[in-house]
Amino acid sequence: MANFGELVLVLGDIHIPLRANAIPEKFKRMLVPGKMQHVICTGNLDVEQFEELRDLAPNVHIVQGDFDEFTCNITFPETRVVQVGVFRIGIVHGHQVLPWNDQAALGRMRRKLHCDVLISGHTHQNHVLEHDGHYHINPVCILFILSKR
């Protein structure tokens, strides 16, 4: 069987409990512990969601969201850079990248973090864009994805 590398779950701002009581059950059923090697989250979660994410994979990478101070008594870093395979992945919530969702501003943050891929949230606009030979990914909030179907 071919080796496809490491499986990474990327989640945008979770916004629980501010916008919903829990991760929707139909999404939660897909979250099987031990299937992925990394979980990356752009913040805005509470302690319960943090514990759930820690149960999913041996490597959980979370950055501080703009609402975490109200919902979570855990302090996460503002930015993180993780190595997954040959890629350096920068993670930032996104509220500190101005103007929001601006590719040039995201490019400056990506260069500052010296990474190949930048994952940011905050804008609730899903995108995967190539910019200057690198990628900018916004995974969007799972609550918004499921509510729009």
Closest CA to 11 of 47, 51, 46, 53: 53
User: Whose structure tokens read 């501010």?
Assistant: 18
pLDDT recorded at residue 46: 81
pLDDT recorded at residue 5: 84
pLDDT recorded at residue 59: 96
| End-to-end C-alpha distance for the chain, whole angstroms | 35
pLDDT recorded at residue 14: 78
In the chain (149 residues long), the average pLDDT of successive 10-residue segments reads: 78 74 78 92 86 93 82 85 97 94 94 97 87 92 53
Beta bridge partners of 90: 81, 118
- Phi, psi at residue 104, to the nearest 5°? -65, -40
Strand intervals (E) in 1-148? 8-11, 38-41, 59-62, 79-84, 87-92, 117-120, 127-131, 134-138
Distance CA 131, CA 95 (A): 20
